[in-house]
Structures are given as structure tokens and as C-alpha cells.
Amino acid sequence: MKISHNWLKEYIDISLKPAVLAENLSKVGLEVGGYEDFAAKYEKFVVGEVLERGNHPNADRLSLCKVNVGSEVLEIVCGAPNVAAGQKVPVALVGATIPRNQHDPEGKSFTLERAHIRGIQSNGMICSSFELGLGEDANGILVLKRSAKPGMPFAKFLGLTDVLYDMEVTANRGDWLSHIGVAREIQMITGKKASLIRTRIKESKTLTKNHATIRILDEQKCRRYSSRVLKNVKLGPSPQWMQDRLQSVGIRPINNIVDVTNYVLMETGQPLHAFDYDTLAGHAIVVKCAAEGEKFTTLDGKERILKADTLMICDGERPVAIAGVMGGANTEISEGTTTVLIESANFDPSSVRRTSKYLGLSTDASQRFERGVDIEMTLYAANRAAQLIQEFTGAEVLKGSIDVYPKKARPTFVSLRVKRTNAVLGTSLSKQEIISSLRRLELIPAAQTKETVKFRVPSFRYDIAEEIDLIEEVARAYGYDNVETKTRMTVDFSKPLRTTSLQDEIRNYLIGAGFNEILTYSLQDRVKGHLMADKAVEVLNPVSAEASVLRTSLVPGALTVVQHNRSHGQKDLRLFEIGNVFGLRGEKPEKTLDAYVEEERLLVLLSGNVISAQYGSEHRTADLFDLKGEIQALISKFCLDKYRFIYYDSASALIESALAVEINGTYAGFLGEVGKSIAQRFDIDGALFVCELRVSDLQRGWATEKKLIPLPRFPGVHRDLAFVVNAGIQHETVARGIREAGGTLLANLVLFDLYVGDQIGAGNKSLAYSLEFQPLDRTLTDREIDAEVLRIVKHVEATCNAKLRAL
């Protein structure tokens, strides 16, 4: 929202410099995003006239000029090749800040001083458009038009005497969307009175009410409708000053009638609409809702389909405007218009908002109605518009206005407790201080007790309805800066503090194990979203197809990361992510949260070399067992030994050689190799291993409380055994056999060699294990161990059809 400094001055006396005003407005919450004060920027720049140009006595390329700057004639040294007598030029006087220095690499600004250039004193500077910050031309001075008057301030010459503030208006303050609204805020800052311009209209004898009728059929949606009728209007351009003002705040001038309605809108915040009176059937206005599906063409030439709750302005026969949003083409002001009916109405905010949203049509009018418009402003605005049109066109204003106001709004009164105010803000303000600061906001005390003040809320303050709203006003008026910044704080330990989470621990562990944490988008395209699951949660109103489905797994996102890194030459990847994935419990989205699954998962990915190319050792690419080892270590760390891997025949092409991970008897996720066909979709040609686990399952098994298991006091004994078995026999089967026979004495079992080859016959393999026997209560004798080993060997030979291999 653009607000003009000069325009504001119509309503309030402002002596503050724009920079100070901007800072003060930001301090009370009306944020000034930016502004350019040309009068300040070009404070010591004037129009000059080059009277004489001579050569500098000591330098060939420099000129010595006599320049008339209005009040005096200055000698100025100039280096520009294009300077000549008779020119009108921009002159910076001593003390001016030159916006850009063309001799500085960064073009930094500098302050002009009286200087001796090659022995001659120069008392100013003739500037290029680069130096002025007006353009990029640094090759010569800027030559102004001949009519420019020497001595005229340069900003004035440019017509840049105004300051335009870019205001960021918060959603609660519709009243700030006008110059009077901003002026009222300045009233709070400076205490000077803000007021609207008095309207004076010369009315004719003809009575308005005999020439037009207005009826409101929906009093809920239209709370007030004020109107004026003007005859003998001569359509034409509005005066230049008004066109300039409208343009300065970003409104395109159209004609004197439309310009006046826009001007009054920017002045008062009251949206107006002008109808061509002669096109209104029966010279009537009827405010009512549309028929469902009814069609209507708006001013912009677009046909709109209306709904049964769309409030319309109609004439005696048909709709002529969408209330509070946009007028219709059928009653538009045009060349032939001679009589005008001005609408100045107040519409229900949510009704306007619904209509604007439904039509996808947001206008200056709808934006204001949505936020709330001062209901007491309609009549003034209609009169103000009539006055201006009469002033510009000499139109005849019919006598009296029509003002349909079915239920006059009662003023709002809100009470404020002084003690409560201080209790919320942490201040110690007195009642009197509060009253005097709120008075500047036109909040008038209507009644008071020792502790409480009842304020009358002005009609333009839609946002004030209860005590906390007044407390906020007190805080703004008192100044946030003035509220003490309390540095003493009490720490409260009445509730147990959890300073770390499993997620933190997993992160730290994996980082220590050399993994890089990644974070990927949770909104994906359809293909990725459905890669790992058939049912996915979809967004009804996506911005783009790439972000329309909530991820069902962390795998597709990770594959995208692998793809990116591989395409940049990074092939050895160790990645992990912790994040939420989503799903549908039933067949389709429902309107309760129970219909959706949201669970946190951990993804771990290995790709490329696990042992990189190095001296003295062979490099080795990752295989499934590298990842399995990492996951075993991770789960062991957090869930002790309550887990196992189950081989399952993955039917999908996504994950090959898959293992299900079970923790505490519950399926917690899987690990495996990403299927070739999937990898290829992501342009990945090497092998890729992933594991995805539910964090809640790790959490359930996470042993946060730990108890010492006493260390063995007696020495353990190692024995190695190797079995030759049929290649079809799994390690797990043999290991189970060893454990079963070994009983409690067998503390540890490690597979240390796997051999396939001629020595043991085709179709066989050799599995070599290192066994550790650990007694708890005594030292084992060799005989005991031999017996133990013999039992194991017999058992394994019997159950696994194995043969002991001599070691």
C-alpha cells in the first residue's frame, strides 16, 4: 500500500522529516517497508545555468565554468566533454551528498567539499545522471531542458517533491488502508489532530429521493447504503494534480468520475462506485443475493457465474454490480454519461470475502470490505465525491442524499483494568497515563472507577472489541521499547526435562559412523509418492505437480539425492535421514485425522566404495552385508539384542535381496538392495543399499535406563571350528545348531571365514566359527571344553548334515 506524504498533509499537520516519520510509524506497527525522499536526497542540488565555459589554465581536459545557481554565480571545474555555455545543468553545491561516485569501484556516495583542482578552486560540481543515481550514463553531464529555472531545487525540477511510503498493513487494520487512517496513526505519534476535509456542496432544488429509490433486501450482508445523484456531469479527464496523486499511489487515472471515486477511496478507505444513472432500470437500486448460476459481466469484460449467496446490487430489472467487489459493464460510466448515481455502501466482511475468493477476484474495494470499513463513513464519502465532481465538472448535485441504514450501529464500549494492563505488559502505568495515551487514538473514556476505565471505541476501529485489544493499544502507545527487558528469569524444574531424544542419539551415532544427514522434500510428484506404496495422501490444491503427494517412504527422496550427487561425481555415499512419512488408513481421504497415518522413519543408505581406493589395501564396493552390519550395530546400540532379520521374498522390483527387520517381535522395517529397474529411473547404475526403519520401534526398544551386568571373573576360552556343509545350508542354521548345543556356556560366536572351492568339493561350502566359552562360576578345564566342543560338533553334524573340517 502506497501512502503519499504530501497527501497525508491534507489531513494532519506533519513537521517530522520523512525518515523520522517512517521510523515512528514502524515503531507503532505500521511498518514502512521503504520510501524514497528525493527532497532529502537532492537537498543541496539545484538547477544551474552555464554562463561561460573556458579552458582550465593547467589542464587540457578540464573546463572552467561560470555557473548561475540562482542566488550567485559559482566558478566550477568540470571534466565532462559535453559541457557548454548556455546549458541548464544539475549542480551539486558544497556539502551535497553525491549519491554515486563514478571514480569509486563500488560507486559509493561521498560528500562534496570545496576543492582545488589543478590549482583552481571549484565551488560545486556539475553532475552526470550516474552521479545523481538517475541513470547509468557517466560519460558526460546531464543536460536539462532549456526552460529549467536556475536556482530551482533539483528535486522540485524533477517533480519529485513528494515522499511515497510503502506500507505493510497487517490483516487486522483495514483502517490503515487509507490516508486518513495513516493520519490518525500519526495523530497518536505527534498528538496533532487528524481530520477529514469539510465538504461543501451546492445542492439544486430537485430532490434526490424523487429521482431514485434504494432498497436493501439483505440487511445482514448490506448494512448501509448511502447515495448521491449528480446531473449534467461532463465526462473528461480529472485535474492534473488528482491524476498525479492517483498515479503516485499506483492507480491509473481513467476519467474525472472514476478518478474521484478512487481518490475518495484512497482518502477515506470507503469504496465507492459510480453508476450511469440513465442505464439503471427504474432508477432503482435493490441490494439482494443472486440466483444460483446466474451470469454477470463485470467491468473488466469477464463473464462471472454467481452463487446463491453472492450479494448483488441490482436495478429494477437485473444485477448491475457484485456488491463490494466490482461493478458491471451494463451500467458503466461512459462517453455519453450525463447523470451519475454514487454508491457508498457498507457490506459484510465475510460475505465479500467469500465472493472474492469464489470468483478469484480481489479488488481495492474487496480488500477493504474484507478487513472491515468504517460504517459511519458512507455518507461523508458520498458527499465528498459529489463535492469533487461538482468542483471539476460543475455538475448539479440533487438535493439531499439517500441513506438507507436499517440498523444503526451502536458505539462499542470496552473496559480496561489498569492492574490487568500492567499484569500483561509488565509495566507500572497509572490510569491517567493510560487514558491520555489512548485519547490520541480517539479512544474516549466514557466512564471510570478507581481501577477501571470504559472507553468508547471509534467506529473506524473494527479491531477493538475487548480488553486485550485495548491493552495492545496501550503497549503501542507506550512504546515496545519502553517496556522493561526483564533479564532475571526463573528456571522451573517442576516437570521432568528431557534433554535428549532417541532421534538426537541416532543422529550422533550415525554421524560418528561417517554418515551424512540429508533432509528431503516431503511433498513429491505422483511417481515418487507412489513408488513405495499404492495409497498416498494427495494435496487437493498443489502449486505444482512436483509437490502434490506426501511421501510414503524416505527412499525416493534419498534416490533423488544419490542421483544429484552421482551426476556431480560423488559416488561413495553414506546417507541417512530422519523424517515423517504419510499414508492413508482407509481407501480415501477422510475428514478426521484418524484416517491418516503419519510415522517417523529412519533411512540409511550405502552406495559406492566402503573401502576407498588407498595404498596397501584393495578398495571394495559396498554390499548388502556392509549395510546389514551398520544396522546391526545401530540397533544393538539402541535396542540391545531384541531384534532379528528375516529373509523375505520381496515380490516388488523395488528392493531386491530384502530382509525384514524385527524389533521386539514387531516388523520395524526392511533392508535390501534397490532394484536395478528403479535405480535406472534415477540414472543410478551402481549398487545401492537402503534400510528404512520406524523410529517408534527403535524408541520402544530403547533402553534409557541401564544396569550393570557383572563382568566375568573367570577366564574365557576360545576354540575354532569349521564345518563343511551343502551350499544350500544357511549360516543361520549352522549357528543356531552351535548355540543350541553350546547352551549358556557359549558366550559368543563369530563367523570368521566362508570358503567355497576345490578343497571341499563342488556344491559345498566351509563355514569357520570362533567360539568363546565363558563360565560364570569357575575356571573351565580342558576336558570340560573338549566335551563341550564334541557335543556341538555332533549336534551340528546331525542337524545340518555337516562335516567337521580339520583346522
Partner 1 sequence: MTEKINQVRVAFDNELSGAVTGDELEQVRVKFLSRNGAIAQLFEEMKSVPAAEKPVLGKLLNTLKNAAQGAFDERKKTLSQSKEQRTRSIDLTLPGRPKPIGTKHPLTQTMDEIKKIFMTMGFSVATGPEIETDYYNFGALNFPPEHPARDMQDTFFIAKDILLRTHTSPVQIRTMEQQRPPVREIMPGRVYRNEAVSARSLVSFHQIEGLYVDRGVTFSDLKGTLVAFAHQFYGKDVKFKFRPTFFPFTEPSADMYISCFLCKGEGCRMCKFVGWLEIMGSGMVHPHVLQNVGYDPEVFTGFAFGMGIERIACLRYGVDDLRLFYENDVRFLQQF
Query: In the range 662-691, which residues lie near partner 1 by CB under 8 A?
Result: none
Distance CA 11, CA 530 (A): 62
Is 489 in a helix, a strand, or coil? coil
Segment interacting with partner 1 (CB under 8 A) among 196-204, 244-252, 345-353, 623-631: 345-353
Would you count residue 623 as binding partner 1 (CB under 8 A)?
Answer: no
Distance CA 129, CA 60 (A): 24
Segment interacting with partner 1 (CB under 8 A) among 84-92, 277-285, 538-546, 713-721: 538-546
Q: Which is nearer to partner 1, 139 or 350 (CB)?
A: 350
What Cα–Cα distance (Å) separates residue 52 from each residue in 76, 88, 145, 148, 357?
10, 12, 18, 17, 66
> In angstroms, what is the minimal distance from the CB of 536 to partner 1?
11
Segment interacting with partner 1 (CB under 8 A) among 69-77, 256-264, 578-586, 682-690: 578-586
Would you count residue 399 as binding partner 1 (CB under 8 A)?
Answer: no
Helices (H), 498-576: 502-512, 526-529, 555-567
* Amino acid at residue number 163: V
Would you count residue 350 as binding partner 1 (CB under 8 A)?
Answer: yes
Distance CA 178, CA 246 (A): 13
Distance CA 141, CA 153 (A): 17
Segment interacting with partner 1 (CB under 8 A) among 40-48, 223-231, 612-620, 773-781: 612-620
Would you count residue 538 as binding partner 1 (CB under 8 A)?
Answer: yes
> In angstroms, what is the minimal distance from the CB of 617 to partner 1?
8
Instruction: Name the residue among 581, 755, 742 with its Cα closest to residue 669.
Output: 581
Residue with C-alpha cell 533411512?
603
Would you count residue 494 as binding partner 1 (CB under 8 A)?
Answer: yes
Would you count residue 495 as binding partner 1 (CB under 8 A)?
Answer: yes
Binding residue for partner 1, selected from 476, 637, 676, 736, defined by CB under 8 A? 476
Question: Which 61-120 positions form the footprint of partner 1 (CB under 8 A)?
Answer: none
Segment interacting with partner 1 (CB under 8 A) among 90-98, 255-263, 303-311, 568-576: 568-576
Would you count residue 288 as binding partner 1 (CB under 8 A)?
Answer: no
Rounded CA Rg of the chain: 42
Would you count residue 530 as binding partner 1 (CB under 8 A)?
Answer: no
Do 312 and 323 meet the contact criterion of CB atoms below 8 Å apart? yes
Would you count residue 598 as binding partner 1 (CB under 8 A)?
Answer: yes
Query: E strands, 596-716, where?
Result: 596-607, 609-611, 620-621, 643-647, 655-663, 666-674, 688-694
Would you count residue 144 as binding partner 1 (CB under 8 A)?
Answer: no
Would you count residue 507 as binding partner 1 (CB under 8 A)?
Answer: yes
> In angstroms, what is the minimal distance from the CB of 86 to partner 1?
40
CA dihedral (560, 563, 566, 567) in degrees, to 10, reads -120
Sheet with 326-327: list strands edge to edge.
213-216, 284-289, 311-314, 319-322, 326-327
Would you count residue 750 as binding partner 1 (CB under 8 A)?
Answer: no
Would you count residue 513 as binding partner 1 (CB under 8 A)?
Answer: yes
> In angstroms, what is the minimal distance from the CB of 289 to partner 1?
16
- How many residues bind partner 1 (CB under 8 A)? The answer is 97
Question: Which 544-563 positions form the footprint of partner 1 (CB under 8 A)?
Answer: 544, 546-547, 550, 561
Would you count residue 305 as binding partner 1 (CB under 8 A)?
Answer: no
Question: Which 151-210 positions form the footprint of partner 1 (CB under 8 A)?
Answer: 170-173
> In angstroms, what is the minimal distance from the CB of 550 to partner 1?
8
> In angstroms, what is the minimal distance from the CB of 547 to partner 1?
5
Would you count residue 361 as binding partner 1 (CB under 8 A)?
Answer: no
Q: Which is nearer to partner 1, 504 or 720 (CB)?
A: 504
Q: Which is nearer to partner 1, 256 or 355 (CB)?
A: 355
Would you count residue 18 as binding partner 1 (CB under 8 A)?
Answer: no
Do 129 and 90 meet the contact criterion of CB atoms below 8 Å apart? no
Question: Which 212-271 positions form the footprint of partner 1 (CB under 8 A)?
Answer: none
Binding residue for partner 1, selected from 336, 514, 665, 763, defined by CB under 8 A? 514
Binding residue for partner 1, selected from 258, 402, 416, 510, defined by CB under 8 A? 510
Which region holds residue 324: left if phi is over 0, alpha if psi is between -120 and 50, else beta?
left
* DSSP per-residue letters across 82-135: T--TT-EEEEEETT-EES--TTSTT---EE---EEETTEEE-EEE--TTTTTS-
What Cα–Cα distance (Å) separates residue 130 from each residue in 101, 137, 139, 363, 512?
8, 5, 9, 38, 56
Q: Which is nearer to partner 1, 349 or 742 (CB)?
A: 349
Residue with C-alpha cell 503519499?
4
Burial of 239 (0-12, 13-18, 19+ CB in 10 A): middle
Q: Which is nearer to partner 1, 396 or 577 (CB)?
A: 577
Do 21 and 9 meet the contact criterion of CB atoms below 8 Å apart? no
Question: Which 403-442 positions form the footprint of partner 1 (CB under 8 A)?
Answer: 423-427
Segment interacting with partner 1 (CB under 8 A) among 223-231, 476-484, 722-730, 780-788: 476-484
* Amino acid at residue number 671: L
Instruction: Name the residue among 183, 159, 149, 335 with its Cα closest to residue 240.
Output: 159
> In angstroms, what is the minimal distance from the CB of 236 to partner 1?
37
